[in-house]
Amino acid sequence: MTCVRILFLSMICHAIDELKKDGVKFKLKARLQAELMLKRIWDMAHEKYEVVPPAVQADLLKFVVRAAGYDGSKDQVAGGQTNALQINIQLGP
């Protein structure tokens, strides 16, 4: 089996276990809605300033960065989601 197939099957098993445990509850419904809202957020963030103010566009972009886990917030680190990149440069012996 390829790694992609193994990962896919693992994700399916996790989703099935979640449904067996909790059923279709608020969190799962919220995830589905969030996926659908991404297109609307994209459209608003790239709209002309006359239609969507720059402050709103900035807030939308900040939200997407935070939701994706790229801001390194304490909430995400505590939850086990870490996407931090660290580069160390040694300049001397």
pTM as predicted: 0.47
On whether residue 52 sits in a domain, the answer given is yes
Query: Contact 66/73 with Cβ under 8 angstroms?
Result: yes
On whether residue 93 sits in a domain, the answer given is no
On whether residue 35 sits in a domain, the answer given is yes
On whether residue 42 sits in a domain, the answer given is yes
Q: How many domains does the chain have?
A: 1
19-56 pLDDT tens trace: 777 666 777 777 888 888 888 998 998 899 889 999 99
On whether residue 85 sits in a domain, the answer given is no
Using alpha carbons, select from 31, 64, 30 the residue that is nearest to residue 45. Answer: 64
d(CA 54, CA 84): 28
On whether residue 65 sits in a domain, the answer given is yes
46-76 pLDDT tens trace: 899 889 999 999 999 898 888 888 887 765 5
User: Which is it for the CA torsion 78, 81, 83, 89, positive or negative?
Assistant: positive
On whether residue 30 sits in a domain, the answer given is yes
Number of neighbours of residue 8 by Cβ within 10 angstroms: 12
Report the length, in residues, of the chain. Answer: 93
Host domain of residue 66: 24-70
Q: Write down the residue that tokens 């459209």 correspond to.
A: 43
Higher per-residue pLDDT: 40 or 80: 40
On whether residue 84 sits in a domain, the answer given is no
